[in-house]
Structure 1
Amino acid sequence: MPQTAALVGLEKRLFLKERELGALLEITQAITHDSGEADLYKIYQFTLIGQLGVRRLALYVLEEGAFRLKVNFGTTLSTDSRFTPAEVASWCPGTPCPVQELGLGPAWQAFELLVPVRQREATQALVFVGTMQGDYASQEALAFLETLSNILLGAVANLRLARQRETLLMAEAAVRREIEIAQQVQQLLFPQHLPNNKYVVLHATYQPHTEIGGDYYDVIEIDAHRLLVCVADVSGKGVPASLLMSNFQAGLRTLLRQNADLVTTVSELNHLIFRNAGGEKFITAFLAIYDRRTQVLEYVNAGHNDPLLLPDAGSPQLLHDGTVMLGIMDELPPFKVGLTAMPPHSLLFAYTDGLTEVFNRHQEEFGEQGVLTALVRNRYLPLPRLHHEMLHRIQQFNANGERFADDVTMLSLRVK
């Protein structure tokens, strides 16, 4: 008889282990089949009912700062019932405990035990268990229930991570697309061809610091005798800077078609930028009109680095007449337009601050003096070579090698 009882106990234990294996198989198959979160909770429920004989259960999972009801069968609990972590902090510290000891309302009295599910030394879920198959009313069965719940929580967490990763990838793709569009917009802003005729030759170099820089240059032939040159720098980088600069260019070209003078052009551009950016962004700009008949350059420097004018004979000039940066106030204070002679063989060199704000290992700035020295030394070189030598000089000077702290733009005009 004792042998028979032992054999029956062994068979029962084997039967229960088969049930446990069946439950594990159902859960793992659901995970490997890429089931959704709701499907995983349903499979968990059906597995507990079919394989383990659980007749009443409520699973609360910690989500967004509260334990929320995810699985509920055999009870009258409201689907939106929840607990705060503070409420459950003193419940069953790591081990199953009778529900009656928790002082909960009547709806929870149908449960017998609360099984806390812990991960990384913190309670991540609460399993309220009611009637179970008689053979499963044991500590071993409760331990298996906790294991099964842990597997479920891990699978749900992985699903959420996968969703977050997918959302992040979609967001990154959208950002990349925005950057591509902004790059295309920026390239369209730059003139495709610069004048090179018997009167003048121009050349521009643009080296962005990021994928979308804030620098801009333009050359516009107003009529057969006059051309406008512009170099500008928008505060900030990226898509917003690109969009603001496109507004700037559109406004500039519209005003020139209306034959506006430089004072009107600069004043209206300031108003446009202030209206579009609300004073939160600004643009420094240098705008100049060269008239080959009079050989005079008229210009406005709006808070920009002073361009250099090198006549064939005489000292270099810094072109600083003008006004404050554009976009910081609705109306500019009165300002004057600069006028200077630009006879044959004169060189105008305009640039952005990325050229001067380069530091060596002693934290000495390349500065305006560095630009002037390099320009005077190379002034008679062909303009592409001149720009190449200027970049080479600041690369040698720069403590970071070829990496600059800002965009670098150079625009040169030489009178023949």
Structure 2
Amino acid sequence: MPQTAALASLEKQLFFKERELRALLEITQAITHDANEADLYKIYQFTLIGQLGVRQLALYVLEDRQFRLKASFGPKLQAGPQFSLASLPSHCQAQPCPVSELDLSAEWQGFELLVPVRQQEAVQAFVFIGTTHADYMTREALGFLETLSNILLGAVANRRLARQREASMMAEAAVRREIEIAQQVQQLLFPQSLPNNQHFAVQATYLPHTEIGGDYYDVVELDTNRLLVCVADVSGKGVPASLLMSNFQAGLRTLLRQGTNLATIVHELNHLLFRNSGGEKFITAFLGLYDRSTQVLQYVNAGHNDPLLLPDGGPAQRLHDGTVMLGIMPKLPMLKVGLAKVPPHSLLFTYTDGLTEVFDAQQNEYGESGVLSMLTRHRYLPLSRLHQELLSDIRRFNASGEKFADDITMLSLRVK
């Protein structure tokens, strides 16, 4: 008889081990076949019912600091959060507890046991089970239930991470595409060639601080005698700034084709920018219209850094006449078109504030004085060399070396 009883006990253990293996096989196959989160919970539920003989089941998983019902069979339970850890005795958070010992409402009384599922010493889920096989309430069996639940939670967490990574990759791809489009738009804004002939020499240098810069320059030959130069800087960076600058460029080119005078051009550009940005963004700009026949430069400085005009003889002039920055109000409160004599061999140097707002280790600013000093010493160099010398000088001065805090744009016009 003892041998018969021992054999029967061993057969029973093998029977339950076989069921456990089948349960593991079913849930691992579901994970391998990349089942979604909802399907994983269903397979977990059916596995416990079909393979382990559980007749009542409720799985609550911790999400957003609340336990939410994810799988259930038997008593009808509410899907929303029903309890917190604070409502359970502390020992029930570490080991299985009879439901009869818990202060829970009547809807849970059809269950027999509450099994905590822990990961990294913290409870991540609770499994309510009821009407189990009498021989399947041992500590070893409950340990397997916790193991199976942990496998499920791990698979669900991995699915969520995969979805998050996929969403992140899609978002990054969308941003990258936006950046590429903005870069293409920005490249189209700049003139494809600059006029260099027997009358003028023009040179432009542009160093963006980020992938999409906020600076803009343009040079337009209106006829054999007249030439317009423009340098601008939009507030902010990225795609919105690039789009606003494209509106500025399109508006400027349209107004130039209409033969509009400089004052009207500036007023119309301000109206266009305010309409598009509602005063939330603005553009500083310098627009200069040079007439070779009169040797006169008409210009408007709209809140921009003062360009420097170096005649062949005499001191440099700062071109400051104009108005406030464009786009911050529907109508410009004041506008003055400046006039400057530009005889042959004069140099007009325009730039954005990234060139001057460079600091050394003692926080001294390179500033306009640094630019003017370099121009005075090297003003007769070929313009490409002049720009190279300026860049080399600010790199030596800059405490961060090659890393600048803003876009740098330089546009030079030499009258021959």
2:242 matched to which residue of 1?
242
2:230 matched to which residue of 1?
230
CA contact (8 A) 1:356 1:365 kept: yes
2:81 matched to which residue of 1?
82
Deviation at residue 50 of structure 1 after TM alignment: 2.2
1:358 matched to which residue of 2?
358
Q: Aligned in 2, Cα 1:204/1:89: closer, same or farther, shift over 3 Å?
A: farther
Deviation at residue 145 of structure 1 after TM alignment: 1.0
* Matched length: 415
CA contact (8 A) 1:255 1:265 kept: yes
CA contact (8 A) 1:57 1:72 kept: yes
Deviation at residue 188 of structure 1 after TM alignment: 0.3
CA contact (8 A) 1:288 1:297 kept: yes
CA contact (8 A) 2:88 2:102 kept: no
Q: Secondary structure at the match of 1:354?
A: coil
Letter in 1 for 2:111: F
Q: Secondary structure at the match of 1:51?
A: helix
Cα distance in 1 for residues equivalent to 2:214 and 2:276: 16
Letter in 2 for 1:7: L
Deviation at residue 201 of structure 1 after TM alignment: 1.5
Deviation at residue 348 of structure 1 after TM alignment: 0.5
Deviation at residue 221 of structure 1 after TM alignment: 1.8
Matches within 5 A, 1:12-411: 12-78=12-78, 80-85=79-84, 88=87, 90=89, 92-411=92-411
CA contact (8 A) 2:248 2:273 kept: yes
Deviation at residue 87 of structure 1 after TM alignment: 6.1
CA contact (8 A) 1:227 1:291 kept: yes
Cα distance in 2 for residues equivalent to 1:102 and 1:225: 94
Q: Secondary structure at the match of 2:116?
A: strand
- The Cα RMSD (Å) is 1.6
Deviation at residue 224 of structure 1 after TM alignment: 2.7
Identity %: 74
Deviation at residue 308 of structure 1 after TM alignment: 0.6
Q: Secondary structure at the match of 2:403?
A: coil
Cα distance in 1 for residues equivalent to 2:190 and 2:83: 59
Deviation at residue 349 of structure 1 after TM alignment: 0.5
Letter in 2 for 1:318: R
Q: Secondary structure at the match of 2:224?
A: coil
Deviation at residue 81 of structure 1 after TM alignment: 3.7
Deviation at residue 90 of structure 1 after TM alignment: 4.5
Cα distance in 2 for residues equivalent to 1:192 and 1:124: 62
TM-score using structure 1 length: 0.96
CA contact (8 A) 1:343 1:415 kept: yes
Deviation at residue 408 of structure 1 after TM alignment: 0.5
CA contact (8 A) 1:200 1:415 kept: yes
Q: Secondary structure at the match of 2:93?
A: coil
CA contact (8 A) 1:215 1:232 kept: yes
Cα distance in 1 for residues equivalent to 2:405 and 2:18: 67
Q: Secondary structure at the match of 1:165?
A: helix
Q: Secondary structure at the match of 1:135?
A: coil
Cα distance in 2 for residues equivalent to 1:296 and 1:286: 16
Letter in 1 for 2:81: R
CA contact (8 A) 1:283 1:326 kept: yes
CA distances 1:251-310 after superposition (whole Å, capped 9, x unpaired): 111222222222221122122222211221111111110001101001111111111111
CA contact (8 A) 1:65 1:84 kept: no
Cα distance in 2 for residues equivalent to 1:329 and 1:65: 48
Letter in 2 for 1:139: R
1:11 matched to which residue of 2?
11
Letter in 2 for 1:281: K
Q: Secondary structure at the match of 2:287?
A: strand
CA contact (8 A) 2:203 2:413 kept: yes
Letter in 2 for 1:224: T
Q: Aligned in 2, Cα 1:169/1:247: closer, same or farther, shift over 3 Å?
A: same
Deviation at residue 71 of structure 1 after TM alignment: 1.0
Cα distance in 2 for residues equivalent to 1:235 and 1:96: 62
Q: Secondary structure at the match of 1:301?
A: strand
CA contact (8 A) 2:285 2:303 kept: yes
Moved more, 230-239 or 19-28: 19-28
Deviation at residue 141 of structure 1 after TM alignment: 1.6
CA contact (8 A) 1:356 1:367 kept: yes
Q: Aligned in 2, Cα 1:84/1:197: closer, same or farther, shift over 3 Å?
A: farther
CA distances 1:324-356 after superposition (whole Å, capped 9, x unpaired): 111222221122111011011111010001101
CA contact (8 A) 1:307 1:318 kept: yes
Deviation at residue 89 of structure 1 after TM alignment: 5.1
Q: Secondary structure at the match of 1:196?
A: coil
Deviation at residue 86 of structure 1 after TM alignment: 5.9
Deviation at residue 320 of structure 1 after TM alignment: 0.9
Deviation at residue 76 of structure 1 after TM alignment: 2.4
Q: Secondary structure at the match of 2:231?
A: strand
CA contact (8 A) 2:189 2:249 kept: yes
Q: Secondary structure at the match of 2:8?
A: helix
Deviation at residue 84 of structure 1 after TM alignment: 4.7
